[in-house]
Structure 1
């Protein structure tokens, strides 16, 4: 049996052996067999995947990643892209500040660093949109630096492995210390991915599969019978509810009136339906005078910090309407509902569901 405190190197070797057999196949990953054959990870793909995976699941990211890399296969290609095109491709992934920072970072790397990502944690941390976790993940996975990579999966594994009952987020420093003790000098990139895979596939939030875990024997929480209840978390405050109104205006030719939100703030830089700011009791603010009809159904959407309820108002766009600043007329052929952020797309779906014989 491995000693949790006396043989950290043995634990690292055990999970690397497991990873060599069980590594998940993901489009941005250079698997253990390819790594053993000398294939190096592409830092651009590692960076792009890590930014996309923040606050999101592998299943949700995969299609987005494949579309991005097909359209912009190199960091120079992404740096040269139109902002609106990138924001449209990002629509639905949420946390839109990530997309804005993605473009800023790509342009710094392409224009100031000759298209080459820096290979150290400290240098990566200076790039737009790259925080401590992302810098550690890129340095480790792309450049095999022995950095401590601590995502939600790793936190859960460390809390159980060491039977740590101090709740998150207060226990993060302790969990990072425990993770650092196990991070090896040899194959640290594969090790980081191995622990994340372990948390995603075996040491799962509910019903961990302890019987097939490569760290089963030394796991303190398994021995104590506390694994299913870890990690503990400080209770979250109840989310407030905000209200809003969106105005869907369509011309007789099928063109739509949309509004681009300010770069800063929630859904920054995204196209959506005109409407007032969200709050407790938003005041009507239609984009033009018309016989606006209440669709009679509400959009309900949840963001990180609040719930949102939107009334949906509809009217016909007048002939010759001149858009105001920040507004755009999108022709029926150019309009793609998938380019809208999720809350706005839900409003469109409600409108479309109310049509009979329409398109």
Structure 2
């Protein structure tokens, strides 16, 4: 039966205190749960999707949940042939609003991103040596696999996002709403997953997770840019937001901090985003991870001196065992 305000209806379906079915319907539609269900149905054919995935907030320590976590095991070889099992993991927060999200300050992709990232390995970087130089070079796993050269990784983005809110007959912008509703939960959930996926020191085989953060919104998405005639407004279906945060004191290159990317995607573009952009990036990761599974498992790689190019590594990396000293 449908909920009703009829007085003789069963108690479990009777609306009280003047509540109408139309008001209840409107509240549910505005809540964002229908959008979450829509994205779940979109992804469940190709991903294992968990709703309301729980995590511990990195700042407050409180238990929270994110709308969806989607996992896709990428094609891999048997354990006797590879020590790495690559998996794509996507943290997803869904937001619904009649009022727009506005993005400011276009920004080129930072030279190094800490999100998307690869976790689940026993190492955080790959140390590369050659046969014609006593030096060693340290690269993040993303750099060692040339993920930083992939078009998905090099997308330009924005450094500021605000959400419109009504103030009487006018609109005003609130960066706090966008930060608390999108950026904070996604980064906290990703941070928790990265820490929780750390393997034991005795591990021989590893799950290598490519972790990305995505907000799917059912709201207008507007880019605001300045030009000689004033502010220009443009609608877009996908905007990448770059978030800069400090590193812990004492970390190497701590003054540079870290950059994290959150993709904000309109619900009507979500299928295209996953199919045409994110999944090809994940496939590129899979190919590099399986080709260099021993390097990722040990954190040590070797390149012939005449082939060494710090800007492109994955096709030349070899396990260090048996090479050099």
TM-score scaled by length of structure 1: 0.23
**The structure with more helix, counted as a fraction of residues:** 1
Structure 2 length normalisation: TM-score? Answer: 0.25
Higher relative contact order (CA 8 A, sep 6+): 2
